[in-house]
Structure 1
Amino acid sequence: MPASQALLETIRSKLFSAVIGDVLDSRGYHHQFLPPEIRPLTPEMVVVGRAMTVLEADCTGDRMGHSGEAAAFGLMFKALDELQADEVYLATGGSPDYAFWGEMMSTRARVLGAAGAVLNGPHRDTAGVLEQGLPVFSVGAFAQDQRMRGRVIDYRCPIEFPNRTRVEPGDIVVGDRDGVVIIPSAVEAEIVELALAKVAGEQDVQRMLEEGVSTQEVFRRTGIM
């Protein structure tokens, strides 16, 4: 298994968003969670993969441009078709007035082996999206179409969320029922190693608490709580 794929599998099987966020905080990365409104469609959904960043923008009118029908969605089809295995379609930039994602997009992403989609906007076709089995995180369900209202204007570019979280293409995206956190690719190995150690330490903390040790004493001994 390639090293990058093995790292993603370690995260999937052994880590979770909260412990990763704690470690990122400890290393000075204080703005790594996406806005808390971004939630999984079902509580058990987990997404782990590399960011394929997508930038949306609002527009007005059904402008097909010179390229025909596809221009109504900007670069969305091109971005979707270029998704690679283990990548997460990660979109921000538009308003919440239209859906960023739907059933057909889930189908294409699943066929390409993508890890999922994370959207700072709504999704639609909820039943169909769930049927595809691809992890999708969004701000909620809203059926209004993107056409005439928004389009993809760039992808595989740095993007920034309203809460100051910046994501570079290839950063690791980890999402579960507690939120979506971004691991910068430049420090991914260090962060995963520290998170694994923290998980082991938290198991010791759990044991001490069950034995009746006070929280003050537990924190004095371990620095974990």
Structure 2
Amino acid sequence: MKVTNIEGDERFDVMRSELYTPVVGDILDALGYRRQFLPPGIRAIREGMRVVGRAMTVLLTDVTGPQPRPFGRLTEALDQLEAGEVYLAQNATMPSAAWGEILTATARQRGAVGAVVDGYHRDTPKVLEQDFPVFSLGAYAQDSAVRSSVVDFRCRIRIGDVEIESGDIVFGDVDGVLIIPSAVEDEVIERALTKARTENVVRDAIERGMSSTEAFRVYGVL
């Protein structure tokens, strides 16, 4: 079945069941998209968490002290989340928690499938008990209300070296988080599935005694 014939949740189900970030990253490299992994410090808050969905991008900026509108447009952004989306935030520079218990509950209620923040999270036990994939720089309880503010969403953002548009695919697992630009998603997923399936064949051949040199010569993957 070709990826171009698979839409919506089914496409992401195939990614969840067969793909992993290393093989997708290899395909992005091969296509010339060599800066698609978010910074390596952004990790799942619990081992085994995976996320795949379309980005709803969110932009934060630094503030100092109490604000007339605490958190800026945060609640507006949360209330605009759609089913199957991933809340993806470019955080402000001042260290503070960009995600927590109530945001998790709101995102789940909206049908979102995960959150990835270029910053910290808090309320860790309360977030974990909701069984919702969250990727962050780590746990840090300092409040964001007097330190950062959401200024825009569904806009272009930049996290590390990665330029991200709302609607791009966010894919994260134990090895990190990457972004698949929507313009090339069909080709990336199709080629990644082929590579992943080939790697399964290569592993089987090696386990049956084939040398890695011969396996690479025959299959072209390692």
Does residue 117 of structure 2 align to residue 119 of structure 1?
yes
Q: Which runs of 5+ in 2 are unaligned?
A: none
Is 2:187 the counterpart of 1:183?
no
Corresponding residue to 2:43 among 28, 36, 39: 39
Structure 1 segments (4+ residues) deviating >3 Å: none
Q: CA deviation at 1:160?
A: 0.8
Please report how far the alpha carbon of residue 212 of structure 1 lies from its aligned counterpart in structure 2 after TM superposition: 2.2
Q: CA RMSD in A?
A: 1.3
Q: Which residue in the other structure is 1:18 paired with?
A: 22
TM-aligned CA deviation for residue 44 of structure 1: 0.8
Q: Which residue of 1 aligns with 2:127?
A: 129
Q: Shift of the alpha carbon at 1:134? A: 0.9
Please show how residues 1-225 of structure 1 align to structure 2 within 5 Å: 3-64=7-68, 71-95=69-93, 97-162=95-160, 164-225=161-222
Please tell me the residue identity of whatever aligns with 1:157: C
Q: In the TM superposition, what is the alpha-carbon distance from 1:107 to its structure 2 partner?
A: 0.3
SS in 2 for 1:73: coil
**Equivalent residue letter for 2:20:** F
The size of the alignment, in residue pairs, is 218
Partners of 1:142 and 1:98 in 2: CA distance: 7
Q: CA deviation at 1:96?
A: 5.3
* 8 Å CA contact retained: 1:96, 1:122: no
Counterpart-to-counterpart distance in 2, 1:19 and 1:62: 45
Amino acid at match of 1:150: S
Give the Cα separation in 2 of the matches to 1:199 and 1:60.
48
- Which amino acid in 2 is paired with 1:127? P
1:214 partner letter: S
CA contact (8 A) 2:94 2:147 kept: no
Distance in 2, matches of 1:34 and 1:131, equals: 26
Task: Return the letter of the residue paired with 1:149.
Answer: R
- Code of the aligned partner of 1:103: E
Return the alpha-carbon distance in structure 1 between the equivalents of residues 133 and 12 of structure 2: 15
Shift of 1:214: 1.9
Q: Output the TM-score relative to the length of structure 2.
A: 0.95
Give the whole-Å Cα distance in 1 for the aligned partners of 2:111 and 2:26: 30
Structure-1-length-normalised TM-score: 0.94
Equivalent pair of 1:87/1:115 in contact (CA under 8 Å): yes
Q: Is the 8 A contact 2:47 2:174 kept in 1?
A: yes
Per-residue deviation at 1:26?
Answer: 1.0
Residues 164 and 179, structure 2, Cα contact 8 Å, conserved in 1: yes
Q: Is the 8 A contact 2:114 2:133 kept in 1?
A: yes
Q: Secondary structure at the match of 1:100?
A: strand
> What does the per-residue CA deviation read over 1:73-121, in whole Å, with 9 as the maximum and x for residues that have no partner?
1111100110000100000131251000000000000011101100110
The equivalent of 1:68 in structure 2 is none
Distance 1:2 1:197, change over 3 A: closer
